[in-house]
Amino acid sequence: MGPMDNPHRTITTPIYYVNGRPHIGHVYTTTICDVWSRFERLLGRDVFFLTGTDEHGQKVEQSAEAQGVSPQELADQNTAEFRRVMGLFDLTNDEFIRTTDPRHEKQVQALVQRLMDSGDVYLGTFEGWYDAGQEEYYTETKAREVEYASPISGKPLDRATEENYYFKLSAFQDRLEQLFASQPDFVRPEARRNEVLGRLRDGLQDVPISRTNFSWGIGVPGVPEHVIYVWIDALFNYITALGLGDPESDWYAARHQYWPATIQVTGKEILWFHAVIWPALLMALGLPLPTCVYAHSFWISEGQKMSKSLGNFIDLEKLDGYIATYGRDALRYFLASQGPLGATDSDFSRLQFHETYTTDLVNTLGNCSSRTSAMIGKYCEGRCPTDTGTCAGGGVEWASFTAKQVEESIAAMEQFDLAASIGAAMAIVHRVDAFINDTAPFKLAKDPDQAETVGNILYRCAEAVRIAACLLEAVIPRAIGQLREAWELGPASGDLTEECRWGQFQPGAAIAKVALFPRVDAPAATEA
């Protein structure tokens, strides 16, 4: 993704509202970005991975009031919770931006000032509808379409008439159409792109970007009674974190090279902001556009949409429970391999989780690495054997087979197809399992004349598992760290492609027995 000669890679998550507590949706978006970031770093790329919290707006002001605390206190409390989550899921973000950070606030004002100076922001009167829950404005046409109720919360929309500052989105119609035509991968997946195109064809209207009925936000420069619309404030985080709104800043000096972003990941419900309003803002500011905006779908819970009233939210407590039983890597593996990256939603079900864990991690990767190391322990004195070339049966051209899988796994990850990348690595492990069954080194070992052949077979098994492990490290860093230690593999080299080249396992290296993924009892049928 992106020009291959650009050494920098930047990935962003949406910044999360602080008026609620973190749940599976937030954890998911951030985890998949983390997997991609780690993988790119393993490839030797210079990565900037950005996430953070969206702390202004009416909702936060109202929640704070209801709880009898100041909006800043509420924001501080909840942002701390989001940061705790980063620790729980082994996330390696390079910055955690908060929109209440004065460095962000200052830049947002400067950016809005630039838009006012260029005439892209002007003072006008808004008449239409407002979804207070989503902090989103609707024109009459759009409000009619959703039957005057929020498509997210179902609550009635409020009538809104007020003097506001507007962003001249309508002026970008042609340029946006051209963007979509010339960069077909700008919005992915394709089904989502088509939805955006459909809405774009209806014609764009200017967007009010200031509010006067509450005060928890960043003031419009020179007009403090107008607060900058929270979505504009929030979208700017992607460039303020890199200092682009303040060329004198430390952030600019250290990070400006990370723009434009390689991939900006969002959920499908907030795609319009990212696919249309955001590029238009960047065009107005004369800044380059991200290479790709990727909108994932939703997790549902045990077959049903997650909702407060059904009480089936996969919240932090539930996720903590999964971690306690299966481990952090297992959760990361499930999210990355089974998640809703395509156009359809995915079901987070306890049984499915258990099955994925048992099939892929316990029975495949765990079993294969433990089998291989146990046989090496038994037949090769726990040392990596030498491959002398002769090998009974199996019929696998290991060097070319693994090279093909490695290429596929890397290409898929570059396309943000996490499941395919994982699948290509796991196919290596499956092949090792079949190879062990076909060649039966445990039988050959009974005949001392076959010692060399046994060594050759086991070398191939260990080497293939090593390569698969390198490819899976971004997804399950803890387990692969354990394997690296037990098999004396040393730390990742920072050149994944080279590391995955066949034949690098050093004969003589100590190979200790590993048990990477303990078996877990199946959940009771009643446990959801």
Q: Tell which positions 116-135 bind ligand MSP, by CB under 6 A.
A: none
Both structure tokens of 277: 């309003």
Find the residue with minimal CB distance to ligand MSP: 267
Residue 7 exposed, middle or buried by CB count within 10 Å (0-12, 13-18, 19+)? exposed
The identity of residue 195, as a single letter, is E
- How far apart CA 329 and CA 325 sit, in angstroms, is 11
Beta strands 121-131 and 158-167, pairing class: antiparallel
509 binds ligand MSP (CB under 6 A): no
332 binds ligand MSP (CB under 6 A): no
Burial 402-414 (b: 16+ CB within 10 A, else e): bbebbebbbebbb
- How far apart CA 477 and CA 460 sit, in angstroms, is 23
Of the two residues 94 and 269, which places its CB atom closer to ligand MSP in the complex? 269
28 binds ligand MSP (CB under 6 A): yes
Q: Tell which positions 176-235 bind ligand MSP, by CB under 6 A.
A: 234-235
- How far apart CA 229 and CA 231 sit, in angstroms, is 6
Of the two residues 53 and 372, which places its CB atom closer to ligand MSP in the complex? 53
Q: Do residues 226 and 83 touch, judged by C-beta distance below 8 A?
A: no
49 binds ligand MSP (CB under 6 A): no
At 285, is the secondary structure helix, strand, or coil?
helix
149 binds ligand MSP (CB under 6 A): no
* CB-based contacts of 368, cutoff 8 Å, min separation 6: 429, 432, 433, 436, 461, 465
Q: Tell which positions 229-288 bind ligand MSP, by CB under 6 A.
A: 234-235, 266-267, 269-270
Binding segment for ligand MSP among 25-33, 101-109, 137-145, 207-215 (CB under 6 A)? 25-33
Of the two residues 240 and 372, which places its CB atom closer to ligand MSP in the complex? 240
Binding segment for ligand MSP among 14-22, 76-84, 355-363, 409-417 (CB under 6 A)? 14-22
Spatial CA neighbour of 384 closest among 438, 302, 462, 332:
462
Instruction: For the CB of residue 456, give the shortest distance to ligand MSP in the complex, in Å.
Output: 47
Q: Tell which positions 52-71 bind ligand MSP, by CB under 6 A.
A: 54
Q: Which of 9, 10, 11, 15 forms a contact with ligand MSP (CB under 6 A)?
A: 15
CA dihedral 411, 417, 420, 425 (to 10 degrees): 60
How many CA within 13 A on the CB side of residue 269?
12
- How far apart CA 413 and CA 265 sit, in angstroms, is 14
Instruction: For the CB of residue 453, give the shortest distance to ligand MSP in the complex, in Å.
Output: 50
Of the two residues 31 and 364, which places its CB atom closer to ligand MSP in the complex? 31
29 binds ligand MSP (CB under 6 A): yes
Instruction: For the CB of residue 267, give the shortest distance to ligand MSP in the complex, in Å.
Output: 1
- How far apart CA 364 and CA 463 sit, in angstroms, is 16
Quote the distance between the C-alpha of residue 24 and its chain's center: 12
Instruction: For the CB of residue 434, give the shortest distance to ligand MSP in the complex, in Å.
Output: 36
Instruction: For the CB of residue 471, give the shortest distance to ligand MSP in the complex, in Å.
Output: 25
Of the two residues 9 and 98, which places its CB atom closer to ligand MSP in the complex? 98
- Secondary structure letter of residue 217 according to DSSP: S
Binding segment for ligand MSP among 3-11, 13-21, 77-85, 115-123 (CB under 6 A)? 13-21
Polymer length of the chain: 528
Of the two residues 341 and 436, which places its CB atom closer to ligand MSP in the complex? 341
Site string for ligand MSP, 378-417 (x = CB under 6 A): ----------------------------------------
Of the two residues 41 and 59, which places its CB atom closer to ligand MSP in the complex? 59
- How far apart CA 368 and CA 437 sit, in angstroms, is 11
Q: Which of 169, 306, 406, 479 forms a contact with ligand MSP (CB under 6 A)?
A: 306
CA distances (Å), origin 185, targets 70, 343, 497: 43, 15, 25
- How far apart CA 93 and CA 34 sit, in angstroms, is 7
The size of the interface with ligand MSP (CB under 6 A), counted in residues, is: 18
Of the two residues 146 and 270, which places its CB atom closer to ligand MSP in the complex? 270
3-state SS record for 21-54: CCEHHHHHHHHHHHHHHHHHHHCCCEEEEEEEEE
List beta partners, residue 348. 301
Beta strands 8-12 and 263-267, pairing class: parallel
Instruction: For the CB of residue 151, give the shortest distance to ligand MSP in the complex, in Å.
Output: 14
Instruction: For the CB of residue 18, give the shortest distance to ligand MSP in the complex, in Å.
Output: 8
Instruction: For the CB of residue 281, give the shortest distance to ligand MSP in the complex, in Å.
Output: 11
Q: Which residue has the tokens 């399992």?
A: 433
16 binds ligand MSP (CB under 6 A): yes
Tell me which residues touch ligand MSP (CB under 6 A).
14-17, 25-26, 28-29, 54, 234-235, 266-267, 269-270, 298-299, 306
